[in-house]
Amino acid sequence: MTATAENTRKNGQATKRPRKSDRTKAEIRLGWMLAGPAFFVMMAVTAYPIAQATFDSLFSFRLTAPDERSFVFLDNYLLLFTDGMFWRIFGVTLLITVVTVAVELVLGFALALVMHRALKSMRGLLRTAILVPYGIITVVSAFAWYYMFDINSGFVNRWLSWVPGIDSDLDWFSNFGTAITVIMASEIWKTTPFIALLLLAGLAQVPDELVEAARVDGATKVQQFTRVIIPNMKAAIMVAVLFRALDAFRIFDNVFIMTGGDANTEVLSLLAYNQSISRLEIGLGSAVSVVLFICVLLMCVIAVKGFKVDLASGTDSSSGKKDGGK
Amino acid sequence: MASSKRLTGRQKIGWAVTTVLVLLYALFPVAAIFANSFKTQADLGNPTFWPANWTLTHYEMIFVGSAQELFLTSLRNSIGITLIATFIAVVLATLCAYAIARLNFPGKRIILGAALAVSIFPVISVVTPLFNLWRTIGLYDTWLGLIIPYLSLTLPISIWTLSAFFRQIPWDLEQAAQVDGATQWQAFRKAIIPLAAPGVFTTAILAFFIAWNDFVYGISLTSTESARPVPAALAFFQGASQFEEPTGAISAAAIVVTIPVVILVLLFQRRIVSGLTQGAVKG
């Protein structure tokens, strides 16, 4: 990506191409002068670190013993992939991603429909309320949920004591099933508004006439929804799902605060953190980071190639509209 | 849309119930931690929702008491680092988005693609190498050491949102003003800035939310109070004694850092919604 950018920049300044007028060249130069700094900063804070991490992952390297650094090639990856713990952690991360995104899609649709159909006078109130979880700090949300379920100060055990299996002695964070449920609940609560807003934007793009026509033709509400509305906002749904899936796969804050990885709730990001920041195992930690990065990349590629998600839709939507002067 | 029709009584009740449900959904956890922050230490051991006796002890503790050092310095760090990172991102993104919206040059798609790629980048993958590098060059545990990586969070969304906003500006107005006798600068100032400012402002709010929310960088790239932001500091709270959980103090601190979010949401919900949806879905 960087290479292409450099080429473009060179082309911009090159004088060889005869078909480019002076004005075009000036425009290209100005374009890169304005956009270049932002582009450069973005590359510097991501492309460089991931390259460095890839390099570091090929070494056995502990910060506590910097002199013992040695080249081990793919040994760190081998160590990960042959360790049952890594696959368990990978599975937990995947589980969280799949469950939260699925639940959020349903909940988000419900919220989007409510906001879409609501009276004008209520829309402001609903949007304001729904933006609170979106804007709140994830760590704060994690603590809020943690204290609700906490065995000492939480009220959930008492409120739900009529549910079989729940009583005042239930420690939600001491076993996997209950702990992961609360973690996912807090994640779902915090991020559903985002998906709901994206779906709301999608809903707004479905022409009212189409729904009206279906209604006149005798389609039921459910049919209007599944046959007319959903197919017409497929793009918005796919983008929302992909964005959320990529985000959920990186989950860290809630797990760190609620269990710290106990009760087998460790996730990939936490594993990377524990290896590099807590244990100063830079080599192994970098390998986890690279694996995480590749997973995210793969999810993207699958979505774009397999499901034809056009992430860059809108990129060029109106750039064709050139202004004559200037 | 059914909104133009008269609502029947049943529909009215239906909408009232729906609205209450949405409000409950959105505000319940916040109310829970709000209630916690006013509970006495004894109440915190009782499984009730509201405190039996309301107290300000925990707020005293974080503002003037034993947790003052920890909380106030981290609050100052959070505010300072977040505002600077937001400001830099918005300035760079404004220039960038202007170029993307107005100029025709190769590389536009590359820049937008790069912004997208950066926004899906796992933060933790950036942290490990930065942790190592920052320790070597002395940026570890400093404001600048957080501001730089925060740009990876704030820049992409700023570029996308602003490009979407700027594309909708009728730039012809500028020329129209010039035809009417305004100088180029006057035309820009009188015709374009008023149209562009709301977009820039909305983008700043979104970027602020994202930087304010950060935890991974905050906890990985700091080790003392000299740069640790609030979300990371919350993990370091301690109870008044060894046998006390810091539940109350953490809840109070959590409420304090939620206040700016609630204020921004209350004032600018319409803009935030349009900014979010424009940046992400086709504008």
CATH classification of the domain holding A245: 1.10.3720.10
Rounded to whole angstroms, the Cα distance separating B31 from A64 reads 45
Choose from A20, A39, A138 for mutation: most chain B CBs within 10 A. A39
Query: Which of these, A78, A14, A145, lies nearest to A283 by C-alpha position?
Result: A78
A252·B123 Cβ contact <8 A? yes
Q: What is the mean pLDDT of chain A?
A: 83
Last residue of a domain, one of A56, A72, A91: A56
β-partners of residue A70 are A60
Query: Which range, of A19-23, A191-195, B249-253, averages the lowest pLDDT?
Result: A19-23
Choose from B38, B103, B175, B223 for mutation: most chain A CBs within 10 A. B103
DSSP code of residue B45: G
Residue A28 has pLDDT above 80, yes or no: yes
Residue B262, token pair as written in the block? 């609630």
B120·A127 Cβ contact <8 A? no
How far, rounded to the nearest angstrom, does the alpha carbon of residue B242 sit from its chain's CA centroid?
A: 34
Rounded to whole angstroms, the Cα distance separating B119 from B113 reads 10
According to the model, what pLDDT value does residue B279 have? 60
Max avg pLDDT among A15-24, A235-244, A283-292, B186-195: A283-292
Q: What share of residues in chain A are helix, strand, coil (percent, to 5)?
A: 70, 5, 25
Mark whether A254 and A143 lie in a shared domain. Answer: yes
**Contact between residue A123 and residue A132 where contact means Cβ atoms under 8 Å apart:** no
A77: contact with B, CB 8 A cutoff: no
β-partners of residue A65 are A62
Residue A11 has pLDDT above 50, yes or no: no
Domain range holding A235?
Answer: 80-306
B247-271 per-position pLDDT tens digit = 888 999 999 999 999 999 889 888 8
Name the residue among B93, B105, B282 with its Cβ closest to that of A12.
Answer: B105
Rounded to whole angstroms, the Cα distance separating A265 from A281 reads 21
Instruction: Answer whether residue A67 is part of any domain.
Output: no
Name the residue among A158, A285, A325 with its Cβ closest to that of B175.
Answer: A325
CA distances from B65 to B62, B69, B234 (A): 6, 9, 16
Rounded to whole angstroms, the Cα distance separating B156 from A128 reads 25
| Residue A104 pLDDT grade (very low, low, confident, very high; cuts 50, 70, 90) | very high
**Contact between residue A286 and residue B122 where contact means Cβ atoms under 8 Å apart:** no
Rounded to whole angstroms, the Cα distance separating A42 from B77 reads 23
Q: How close does chain A come to B106, measured CA to CA in Å?
A: 7
Stretch B97-104: mean pLDDT: 86
According to the model, what pLDDT value does residue A301 have? 87
Name the residue among A135, A272, A312 with its Cβ closest to that of B265.
Answer: A135
Residue A218 has pLDDT above 70, yes or no: yes
Mark whether A17 and A96 lie in a shared domain. Answer: no
Mark whether A183 and A101 lie in a shared domain. Answer: yes
Rounded to whole angstroms, the Cα distance separating A266 from B110 reads 36
In Å, the largest CA–CA distance within chain A is 81
Mark whether A9 and A52 lie in a shared domain. Answer: yes
The CATH H-level (homologous superfamily) assignment of domain B68-236 is: MetI-like (1.10.3720.10)
Rounded to whole angstroms, the Cα distance separating A242 from A256 reads 24
Residues of chain B with C-beta less than 8 angstroms from the C-beta of A325: 175
Mark whether A283 and A236 lie in a shared domain. Answer: yes
| Residue A157 pLDDT grade (very low, low, confident, very high; cuts 50, 70, 90) | confident
**Contact between residue A182 and residue A99 where contact means Cβ atoms under 8 Å apart:** no
Name the residue among B36, B110, B276 with its Cβ closest to that of A147.
Answer: B36
Q: Which residue has the higher pLDDT, A67 or A314?
A: A67
What's the ipTM? Answer: 0.90
Query: Which range, of A295-309, B125-139, B221-235, averages the lowest pLDDT?
Result: A295-309
Residues 6+ apart with CB under 8 A from A269: A93, A250, A251, A252, A255, A292, B122, B123, B124, B216
Choose from A140, A141, A210 for mutation: most chain B CBs within 10 A. A140
Instruction: Answer whether residue A212 is part of any domain.
Output: yes
Q: Is B151 exposed, middle or buried (0-12, 13-18, 19+ CB in 10 A)?
A: buried
Share of chain B above pLDDT 90, in %: 36
| Residue A310 pLDDT grade (very low, low, confident, very high; cuts 50, 70, 90) | low
Residue B1 has pLDDT above 50, yes or no: no
A208: contact with B, CB 8 A cutoff: yes
Beta strands in A162-255 (DSSP E): none
Max avg pLDDT among A225-234, B76-85, B119-128: B76-85
Instruction: Answer whether residue A162 is part of any domain.
Output: yes
B107·A139 Cβ contact <8 A? no
A226-274 per-position pLDDT tens digit = 888 888 888 888 888 988 999 899 999 999 999 988 888 999 999 999 9
According to the model, what pLDDT value does residue A315 have? 38
| Residue B105 pLDDT grade (very low, low, confident, very high; cuts 50, 70, 90) | confident
Stretch B170-184: mean pLDDT: 81
Residues of chain A with C-beta less than 8 angstroms from the C-beta of B126: 45-46, 49-50
Max avg pLDDT among A71-75, A174-178, B165-169, B184-188: A174-178
Residue A188 has pLDDT above 80, yes or no: yes
Residue B6 has pLDDT above 80, yes or no: no
Residue A213, token pair as written in the block? 């026509």
Range list of H helices, chain A: 2-13, 22-56, 75-81, 84-117, 120-135, 138-149, 156-159, 176-205, 208-216, 221-223, 230-232, 234-249, 253-258, 268-273, 282-301
SS3 B97: helix
**Contact between residue A255 and residue A270 where contact means Cβ atoms under 8 Å apart:** yes
**Contact between residue B203 and residue B158 where contact means Cβ atoms under 8 Å apart:** yes
Domain count, chain A: 2
Instruction: Answer whether residue A325 is part of any domain.
Output: no
Rounded to whole angstroms, the Cα distance separating B158 from B97 reads 9
Residue A173, token pair as written in the block? 């964070």
| Residue B23 pLDDT grade (very low, low, confident, very high; cuts 50, 70, 90) | very high
**Contact between residue B33 and residue A147 where contact means Cβ atoms under 8 Å apart:** yes
Residues 6+ apart with CB under 8 A from A42: B114, B115, B118, B151, B152, B155, B156
Residue A16 has pLDDT above 70, yes or no: no
- Domain borders along chain B are 68-236
Residue A325 has pLDDT above 70, yes or no: no
B31-57 per-position pLDDT tens digit = 999 999 999 888 888 888 899 889 898
Residue A3 has pLDDT above 50, yes or no: no
Query: Which of these, B24, B250, B76, B280, lies nearest to A132 by C-alpha position?
Result: B24
Rounded to whole angstroms, the Cα distance separating A95 from A190 reads 18
According to the model, what pLDDT value does residue A324 have? 31
This prediction has a pTM of: 0.87
B265·A52 Cβ contact <8 A? no
Residue B77 has pLDDT above 70, yes or no: yes
| Side-chain-facing half-sphere of B204: CA atoms under 13 Å | 15
SS3 A4: helix
| Residue B281 pLDDT grade (very low, low, confident, very high; cuts 50, 70, 90) | very low
Q: Which chain A residue shows the shortest CA-CA distance from B43?
A: A153
Residue A316 has pLDDT above 50, yes or no: no
According to the model, what pLDDT value does residue A7 have? 47
Angle, vertex CA A81, rays to CA A79 and CA A83, nearest 5:
65
Query: Which of these, A261, A244, A197, A243, lies nearest to A100 by C-alpha position?
Result: A244
Q: What is the mean pLDDT of chain B?
A: 86
Residues of chain B with C-beta less than 8 angstroms from the C-beta of A31: 99, 103-105, 107-108
Residue B83 has pLDDT above 90, yes or no: yes
Query: In which element (H, E) is residue B202 found?
Result: helix B193-213
Q: Return phi, psi of residue B136, to 5°.
A: -70, -45
Within 144-163 of A, beta carbons closer than 8 Å to B belong to 144-145, 147-148, 150, 152-155, 157-158
Stretch B122-135: mean pLDDT: 88
